Structures are given as structure tokens and as C-alpha cells.
A and B are shown apart, each in its own frame.
Chain A
Amino acid sequence: MRSRDTEFQKNLKRFARRRVVVVGTALVLLFIIAALAAPILTKADPNVQDLSELLHPPGGGHLLGTDELGRDIWSRILYGARVSLLVGLSSVGIAIAVGVPLGAMAGFYGGWIDEVMMRALDVMLAFPGVLLTIVLVVILGPSLRNVIISVGVYAMPNFARLARGEALSIRSNEYIEAAQAVGAPNWWIIWDHMLPNIISPIIIMGTLSVGNAILTAASMGFLGMGAPPTIPEWGAMLSNGRKYLLVAPHAATIPGLAILLLVLGLNLLGDGLRDILDPKMKN
């Protein structure tokens, strides 16, 4: 008991010592607070238009100015944090929920199951970058839900590979054979023996993937395939604002900065977690 405590304390200390990790955590927390406390932090409805107050620069009645329809950018940024976090977390959630069991199955059973699944992943990965996401969103139709699904599908192969690798390495373990011998079902064996090994890499990859997912979703918004305009999505805000880059640069700059800071925070956090949780990286 004692030793585990010190291990935890050691981790915590290591965590706190790395200033970048603290900064990352602070950034992510800041956006989580912004998302949760949006109604307290702003009185303005993110969707209320004021056609007489278009593209007002920051200051005055609007902390961060207004957009091309006279909507308050500050409140759209706050409510937008909800959208970005929702998109990031749920698409990665989908990727994990689908990718990990598939990968684990492939790795554990091997043989043709493994072959079929890995080749299927190869086919998916042969659609490089955002292309797959673009095509999926066009097929499913542009909506927040479909963006989440498409981004999730895009992120899925990474988790499947991770789980497969882990499953492969435990398959040959003696205690697995022992467990099988006493009649434990395979899914239980996978769950019980793989989970402890896989949980830290998933947390690390998950944190980093949330950032990536947010970037991909924002790219979709930028290409005009994202959430409907009434949802304050940062990528779409930036995309709409870029038309006014010359006359009202704030309309594009502010949402872009928001994306950058949130993703940076997630990456700093993910990096820090890797240093702490991944034993291979420990020096």
C-alpha cells in the first residue's frame, strides 16, 4: 500500500515538475470550464443576430466583437467549446469503442480473422488524410452527428492497431492458457488481461486523438461540410470569418486561436501523460 502511494506521489511530482504539462492541463481545464459555465460567463445568446451591429471589432458591448451576422463572438466561442469538446470526445469515444474490440479480436484469434481485419484497415488507411472524412460526410449529409461519426471512423484504425498489438503479445502467455483451461470465456480473458496493459496507451493516444479529431472536424467546417451554421462550431466560424479577413480580421482570428489553444492544451497533456504512464519512454 505504502509503495503504491509513493509511486503515485512520484508520478504526481513528475507531473507537476513538467511545466508544459501543467500548462496543458490548465488550458484544457480552462476550455472545459468555459464550456460548462458558458451561460454564466455570458448573457448573450450565441445565435441572436443583430443586423445593425455587423463585424463589430472587439470591445464596447461585445468583448470579442461580433461576426458577420452581428452575433456575439465571445458567447459563440464559449458555446463553441462545448461543440469542439463534444466532437473531440465522442468521435474518439467511437473510435475506441469500435477499434479496440476489433483490434483485440484480430490479435487474439489471429488467422483469417486477423488477416481480413488488417487488410480492411489497410484499405481504410489507403484513403489518406481527410479524404475519407470528406466522402463520408457527403454521403451521410452534413450534421454534427455525421461529422462525429466520420471523424471517429477516420481515427478508428489507430486504436485497432494498438489493441491488436497488445492482444498479440498476451496471446502466448501461459496464464491465458490456464484461464482457457478453467473455462473462462475468451472475451473475459481479453478484457481481464488486456485492459490493464492497454489502458495507459489508450489514454495517451486518446488524449492526442481528441486534439486531432477537433482539428479534423474544424477542417470539415472550413471546407463547408461541418455542423449547421446555427451551431457555433469554431472551424465554421473561422471559415465564414475568412471572407472578412481584410476588413474585420478578428472574425477569423479569434476562433482560430481558440482551436489552436485547445488542441495545444490537449497535446501538451497527452505528451505529459505519455512521459508519466508509458514505461518505455521513462528515462
Chain B
Amino acid sequence: MSTKATRIVAILVSLLLVAVTVTGCGSKPNASNSLTYAVGTDAKTLDPQFVNDLPSAVAAMQIHETLVARDENMNLVPGLATEWSVSSDGKTWTFKLRKGVKFHDGTDFNADAVKYTLDRMLDKATASPRRSVVSMITGVKVVDASTVQITTDQPFGPFLAQLSTYNVAMMSPTAAKAAGVKGYGQKPVGTGPFKFKSWTPGEKLVLERNDSYWGTKPTIKELTFKVVPEDATRVMLLKTGDAQVVGGVPAFQIDDLKKDANITLIAKPGFRTIYVGMNNSQKPFDDPRVRQAVNYAIDREAIVKNLLRGQATIAVGPESTTIPGAAKTLQTVYTHDVAKAKQLLKDAGYPDGFKTVFHTPSGRYPMDQQVSEAIVGQLKEAGIQAELKVMDWGAYNDMLTKGTESRLFLLGKGSPSADPDMTLSLSFGTKASMNQAFYSNKQVDGLLADQRKETNADKRAQILQQIQDLVQKDAAWANLYYETITVGTRANVKGLQVLPNELIFFNKVTIGK
């Protein structure tokens, strides 16, 4: 190359260096008392009353707390309320509140704060998308600074479970009034072990230790939620140590990660059921025999063992067996039996099977599209020719709600209240909002109403068992499996709490050498 050309190249390269220096350099903070948690999806809001997705719930629940809490085994335990009682007619609940608790802004946590929080959620002007969680409340009365009385329109069996959901977490009245309904989600002030520091949407959320926390004070000074949508990238971050905790570890990485001495995997059977929904209102799935045939045609074991690498539990019914009050076993069990599936199809008038469509989301649940693809393959063996269609969540949701195009579809359901009532009612009640299967059974509708009014826990459990048996016998869905929650941590991270409802708590975490 001639010297002139070299000179031009040199000038250009130095120009580049200048430009690059101007854009600035940064440094990576890496103190041992800070922890980075890599998540796939950013929180949408930190206002508990507007949270309706898991990533937001996990973040909001580091900052806020509920009156009634859940321990690691999902038992109801005292949270911001230390004790409670219910009147003999089952309609008035009295809560004794924890004393000496302050919100992060210094406001006292007391009966007024409880009243404010509940009233705000009940107020239609707030427009909380989860208002239904508390809509049975007719009044909140401040008895004294540390006693509050809540009345409901009728006896409500799962009331404590409702109060333990993240939506009903207590917020500082001072901060909430100042920020307004739209602003609070970006400036949350609770009583939790961590307080809000900064949030760069789509990038990271930074929380810092609440030094005056009433419970076990965190040892971590700074907790960062880092948004990393790519599964593989999240795992790489854990391997390189750039993140100490990583959620949603893909099944396929597990064998590889187990070999790494620097990494610990926490696996916890979760609440989420993944199921194949069937549109009960459309031919041929209006015939229970066809729905049962689908149930028999699916090889759940192959899916769980091979595709999910054992990171799931084969389903017995619609509600995960780890949910308190959910049935452990049901009368009807569907095992992989192609011959039986074919027989049922023949009985229903489809000796040669039939053609249909199978809709699936992609990336909504771990391995969702792959599981759907596998099921389409398995259905083929029983003579059901399903055409697989992938849709983005918005269109998918819409299509399922309209119910004219939907036949077979893959869906998941969690359990925000950790009680079978909420999701059983929403999924199997006639015309309920999560009933995309268009299942309708008068007996089930009656039982769903009965269990709500039943305040005797044992009797209520019996009714719930009956509902689950009925639904399983009718084969409203083909339940596949309950997801296992897999969280990867660096080996020196101890004390992380992972709950079956996918919430994670960091206040007891210690980071060793």
C-alpha cells in the first residue's frame, strides 16, 4: 500500500478513536455486598395494585409486604398483621397489626395505611386491573392504630389467601397520595426489606437495603434486577459471574450447569400448570370422548423426561398438587394409551380421526412451542391431524377469547392467591374470563359458589376436590405438567428463598467468598 493510502487510513482510524472516546467509557461495579439478578422480562410497574405479571410481582414484593404472608411451603403466616380472627357469621375479619413498622419514607405503618391501601384498590377511579381480588370487601374500619376490621359481602372462604396476593401489598399513603395513581408505579414506597433506588426501563432496576427493616435485615446492600431477554445470555452471565442469580434457567442448560462447581441450581416444584386447552363449544371437542382421546394420546412422560429434562411434574389435575388445598390425586388418570385414544375416537364417530388446528404461543412459557410441536406429533399417532400455528401473545389471547377459531391450544396458569378457588373459578366457571375452553357444567358452577361461602377448611377442601374430579373426568383440558421453577445461583450465594408461586426473596441471602 502506498504511503498516502496509509496516511488516510491512519487519519480515519484516529478519527474513530476520538469518536469512540467521546461516547464515553463506563466501569462495572462489583462489590461483594451487591447482587445482580438476571431476569428475562422487565417489570412493568411496581404499583402492587397494577401488577398482573410475575416479573413485576417479584420486583414489587421486595419493596412491599402483605398483611398475611406465605412461608416457603406456602403456609399462611403473619406478615404485617400479627394475628387475625373472623366473626361467627364469617363476614367480619379483625387484624392486629405489627407495631413499630415504618414505610421507607418514614410514614408509620398503621390501620390508616391499611385502610388507605384497600380503599385505593376498591376505588373504581383507581382502575386496578385486579380489583376483583378485593371486590368482596364492603368496608374497612380503623378500630385503633394497630387494629383494623374488614367486612365482606358474604362469608368468603379463601379470604386470607386473597389478602396474601401481591396485589394487596401495603403502600405508604403519603407516597401514594403524592405520586398519584399513575406515578406510584415508578416511585414505590413500602415496608419491605429493600427500597427503591432507580429504574431504567428495559435495562435494570436497582433496589437498596432498608436499614430499618423490622424483620431479618438483608446483608445485601444493593440488589439489581438486570433485564436479559435471551435465555443463553442469562446462563452465560451466571457462568462468567456477571450475575449471581439467574431466573428461568432453560431445561437444556441444566446438565451442563450441574457440572459447574461454581453454580448451584435451586429446583422447586411450582404452581404453574401447562395444559392443552380444548374448545368445548366447538366440534369435535364438544364430545367428552374426543377430549378424553386427546388426553390418552399425549405422552406426558416423554415430554417431561426428554424435552424438559425432568424439570416438571406430570399433572394429575388442573391445579398443581403443591398448591395448598389442591387435590393430590384424582379419580380419573390419563396415561399414554394410543389404542384407547383410537377406540374413544371411534366411539365418538371418528374412526379415521379428524383434522384440526393447534395454536401455540412462543416464548410465553419455557419450551412452549417445542412442547406444542411434540404434542402435534403425538396426536398424529392417534389419528388427530393438527395443524400447528404460532401466534404472538396479543393475537393469541384475542383468538382464544373469541373462541371461533380455537380448537386445541397450549396455555399455562399459575395461582396468584395460592388457593385453588381463584383459578378454578376463573377457568371452569361458565363464561369466566380464563375459561377459554368454554367449559360449562352447572354442577361445577354450583360447587364453585358453595366453596367460597364455606368457611370450614375441611369441608371446603372436600368441595374443591369434587370440582377437580368433575373437571378432570369431563376432560375440559388435557393437563400436561406442573413447571419446576429453576433458579441458578453462584455457589457462594446462600439463603435465597424461592417460592412455588415463583416469587423470590433476597432478604436472607448471604454472599460468601
Contact = CB atoms under 8 A, between A and B. Distances in A.
A281 interface: no
Interface string B283-295: 0000000000000
Interface in A175-224: 224
A49 B392 CA distance: 24
Given A243-B250, A246-B256, A54 B307 contact: yes
Interface stretch (A32-40, A154-162, A225-233): A225-233
A141 B392 CA distance: 9
Contacts of A47: 377
B354 interface: no
Contacts of A141: 391, 395
B373 A138 contact: no
B362 interface: yes
A252 to B, nearest CB: 9
A70 to B, nearest CB: 8
A228 B359 CA distance: 10
Interface residues of B, number: 29
B10 interface: no
Nearest to A48: B377
B363 A224 contact: yes
B395 A68 contact: no
B256 A51 contact: no
Contacts of A229: 369, 373, 388, 390
Contacts of B256: 246-247
Contacts of A225: 392
Interface string A45-73: 00111011011000000000000110000
A55 B112 CA distance: 59
A79 B140 CA distance: 66
A51 B369 contact: no
B252 A142 contact: no
Interface string A132-164: 000000100111000000000000000000000
Contact of A51 (B235, B302, B391): B302
Contacts of B376: 230
Contact of A243 (B232, B303, B306): B232
A69 B253 CA distance: 15
A245 interface: yes
Nearest to A54: B306
Contact of B377 (A49, A143, A243): A49
B252 A55 contact: yes
B232 A142 contact: no
B469 to A, nearest CB: 31
Interface residues of A, number: 26
Nearest to B230: A242
A51 B395 contact: no
Contacts of A224: 362-363, 390, 392
Contacts of B389: 142-143, 228
Contact of B373 (A142, A230, A246, A248): A230
B373 A49 contact: yes
B374 A51 contact: yes
A15 interface: no
B474 interface: no
A48 B374 CA distance: 10
Interface string A8-41: 0000000000000000000000000000000000
Nearest to B233: A245
Contact of A138 (B374, B387, B392): B392
Contacts of A143: 389
A228 B230 CA distance: 21
A181 B391 CA distance: 57
B374 A142 contact: no
Contacts of B377: 47-49, 69
B406 to A, nearest CB: 14
Interface in B308-322: none
B193 to A, nearest CB: 34
Given A51-B306, A51-B374, A54-B307, A247 B252 contact: yes
B251 to A, nearest CB: 10
B231 interface: yes
Interface in B222-263: 230-232, 235-236, 250, 252-253, 255-256
Given A68-B252, A246-B236, A228 B374 contact: no
Nearest to A242: B232
B253 A230 contact: no
A244 B395 contact: no
B370 interface: yes
A245 B235 CA distance: 10
Interface in A229-255: 229-230, 240, 242-248
B210 to A, nearest CB: 37
Interface string B266-305: 0000000000000000000000000000000000001100
Interface-central residue, A48, A141, A243, by most chain B CB under 10 Å: A243
B391 A142 contact: yes
Contact of B390 (A51, A69, A228): A228
A47 B306 CA distance: 17
Contact of A52 (B303, B306, B363): B306
A49 B388 contact: no
Nearest to A47: B377
Contacts of B392: 138, 142, 224-225
A138 B395 contact: yes
A247 B373 CA distance: 21
B390 A246 contact: no
Nearest to B255: A247
B232 A245 contact: yes
15 contacts: A51-B303, A51-B306, A68-B307, A69-B307, A69-B373, A141-B395, A225-B392, A229-B388, A230-B376, A240-B370, A242-B232, A243-B231, A244-B252, A246-B232, A246-B253
Which 10 residue pairs across A and B have the least CB separation, nearest first? Answer: A51-B306, A245-B232, A49-B377, A51-B302, A243-B231, A224-B362, A247-B256, A230-B388, A244-B252, A229-B373
Given A246-B236, A246-B253, 9 more contacts: A68-B252, A69-B307, A138-B392, A141-B391, A142-B389, A142-B392, A224-B390, A229-B373, A240-B370
